[in-house]
Homo-oligomer: A and B are copies of this chain.
Amino acid sequence: MSGKFSDVEEIDRAIVTALTADGRLSYTDLAERVGLSVSAVHQRVRRLEQRGVIKGYTARVSYEALDLQLTAFVAIRPFDPSQPDDAPDKLAHLSEIESCYSVAGEDFYMLLVRVASPGELERLLQQIRTAANVTTRTTVVLSTPYEGRPPAVSASSTPE
């Protein structure tokens, strides 16, 4: 399992902050910022990756540029609540679904989906309903003031 934050002390936090801000930072730059040698930083990054604190690296892309003009939240609940609930598995193959959260409240899951057009949203909702035997309640995103901001990696307790 991934380590607790209490295992992640000051320098590691600086490394994580730097890499969330720029995932392609060189070890040389990283070393300068945190005040360690290149090899020490390299070792720490490897440990952070192994411990699962850093899960990977990605390019952030413009969804508009990729012709995914429509973002929406889709709240779902089972059509028949007595049946086994494995909606996430049944929906995983739909690549338009970016995220799937199990939530408290009236709905069972909240999905974040991205499609090209209203027509594609309609088609996707039909697929979701039939694939997982659920009803859907959709909230269309009109604009995105901000999104995916890096977490504030704040101070914490002692290293191990």
Contact = CB atoms under 8 A, between A and B. Distances in A.
Contacts of A21: 58
Interface string A1-30: 011111110000000100111111000000
Helix, strand, loop or mixed for chain A's interface? Answer: mixed
A151 B23 contact: no
A62 to B, nearest CB: 4
Interface in A68-96: 68, 71, 73, 88-89, 92, 95-96
A6 B16 CA distance: 35
A143 B103 CA distance: 7
A67 interface: yes
Given A102-B141, A144-B100, A62 B66 contact: no
Contacts of A60: 54-58
A139 interface: yes
Interface of A: 2-8, 16, 19-24, 51-68, 71, 73, 88-89, 92, 95-105, 107, 109-110, 114, 139-153, 156
18 contacts: A5-B64, A8-B66, A22-B56, A51-B65, A54-B61, A56-B59, A57-B60, A61-B151, A66-B153, A73-B101, A98-B149, A99-B147, A100-B145, A101-B143, A103-B140, A104-B141, A104-B142, A105-B140
